[in-house]
């Protein structure tokens, strides 16, 4: 397929309700935030064999691409509005692949009430690479960042960690002893993570700092602390990790791909979280507190520091 055919047949229909897309007939799009709102922009790329398995269903690849990007908007408390999609397609991406991919993309655009306003398409001889830029809106001056945690703030995480890692293990053929319900949940959490958009929006004016957990709770907490020039003390036993016989708790905790929210909150605001948790039907767990200095410590139930073989997932360049 030619690039123009892909745009005309598969991508243009995704832009039909977005005036700023100019029906994908121009080299640029436009977007004007609503009155009293400011723009929040995020971009993430996914590479075949790194962020998804080569045999993953194209529609699920599309949904994973959208949802992992929207998770960044969730951490800012933003409402998603539109996206730009860039595809560097490999030889295996034939017409059937593109059709299935864009069908899944369209389903999630409808689900999250967003639309396509631009992007780029390239066909080459290498691996499949996908990149999405997501645009969202938040009230002026209210966006959450990872820069503003303060000593004494309590550290919270949403949901249950480690479920997505089980999903990837299953997809790789690991023989895990899981019941059917947990298997389905694990696969769904890896392939179609649910960005915590409502939670992020509810934390505006409540949380002092926020980010999503993409590379493991400890590594991402260290990033938040570095950005805020603070340290942290985390209680290992309080971290909500799925308990599965035969799996290592620390491994599940640091695997990444959770796409839950990690946020800090002043102690006098913490009493509001119980009602928020009940309203959204999302577990919100306090795992520690922000400290002065720069050290992030993980302590056991006896108050002793724990050493980790790894903090989480990090990208490394290929050696030459």
Q: What is the per-residue pLDDT across 145-195, written as a single tens digit (0 to 9) for each?
A: 999 999 999 999 999 999 999 999 999 988 888 899 999 999 999 999 999
Residues 219 and 279 in one domain: yes
Residues 158 and 295 in one domain: yes
Residues 159 and 131 in one domain: no
What range does the domain containing 161 cover?
A: 154-299
Residue 232 lies in a domain: yes
Residue 238 lies in a domain: yes
Over residues 251-298, the pLDDT tens digits come to: 899 989 999 999 999 999 999 999 999 999 999 999 999 999 999 999
User: What CATH number is given to the structural domain containing 82?
Assistant: 3.30.1330.10
User: What CATH number is given to the structural domain containing 260?
Assistant: 3.90.650.10
Q: What per-residue confidence (pLDDT) applies to 311?
A: 59
Residue 171 lies in a domain: yes
Token pair 């009602």 is at which residue? 275
Residue 119 lies in a domain: yes
Residues 128 and 216 in one domain: no
Over residues 34-47, the pLDDT tens digits come to: 999 999 999 999 99
Q: Which of 139, 174, 191 represents a domain boundary (last residue)?
A: 139
Residue 304 lies in a domain: no
Residues 31 and 85 in one domain: yes
> How far is it, in rounded angstroms, from Cα 26 to Cα 71?
29
Residues 181 and 209 in one domain: yes
Q: What per-residue confidence (pLDDT) applies to 262?
A: 99
pLDDT over 80 at 301, yes or no: yes
Number of separate domains in the chain: 2
């Amino acid at each position: 397929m030619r690039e123009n055919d892909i745009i005309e047949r598969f991508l243009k229909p995704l832009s039909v309700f977005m005036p700023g897309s100019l029906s994908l007939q121009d080299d640029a799009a436009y977007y004007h935030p609503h009155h009293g709102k400011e723009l929040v922009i995020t971009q993430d790329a996914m590479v075949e064999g790194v962020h998804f398995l080569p045999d993953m269903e194209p529609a699920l690849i599309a949904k994973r691409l959208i949802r992992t990007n929207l998770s960044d908007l969730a951490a800012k408390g933003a409402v998603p509005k539109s996206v730009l999609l860039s595809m560097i397609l490999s030889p295996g991406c034939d017409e059937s692949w593109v059709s299935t991919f864009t069908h899944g993309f369209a389903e999630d655009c409808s689900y999250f009430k967003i639309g396509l306003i631009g992007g780029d398409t390239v066909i080459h001889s290498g691996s499949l690479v996908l990149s999405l830029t997501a645009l969202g809106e938040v009230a002026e001056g209210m966006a959450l960042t990872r820069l503003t945690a303060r000593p004494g703030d309590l550290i919270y995480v949403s949901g249950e960690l480690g479920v997505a890692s089980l999903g990837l293990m299953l997809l790789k053929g690991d023989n895990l002893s899981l019941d059917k319900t947990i298997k389905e949940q694990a696969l769904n959490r890896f392939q179609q993570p649910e960005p915590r958009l409502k939670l992020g929006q509810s934390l505006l004016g409540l949380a002092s700092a926020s980010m999503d957990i993409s590379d493991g709770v400890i590594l991402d907490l260290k990033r938040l602390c570095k950005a805020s020039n603070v340290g942290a003390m985390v209680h290992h036993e309080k971290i909500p990790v799925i308990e599965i016989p035969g799996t290592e708790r620390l491994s599940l905790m640091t695997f990444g791909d959770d796409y839950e929210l990690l946020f800090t909150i002043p102690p006098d605001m913490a009493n509001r979280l119980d009602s928020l948790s009940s309203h959204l039907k999302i577990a919100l767990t306090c795992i520690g507190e922000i400290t002065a200095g720069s050290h992030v410590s993980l302590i056991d139930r006896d108050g002793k520091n724990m050493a980790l073989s790894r903090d989480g997932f990090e990208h490394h360049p290929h050696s030459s």
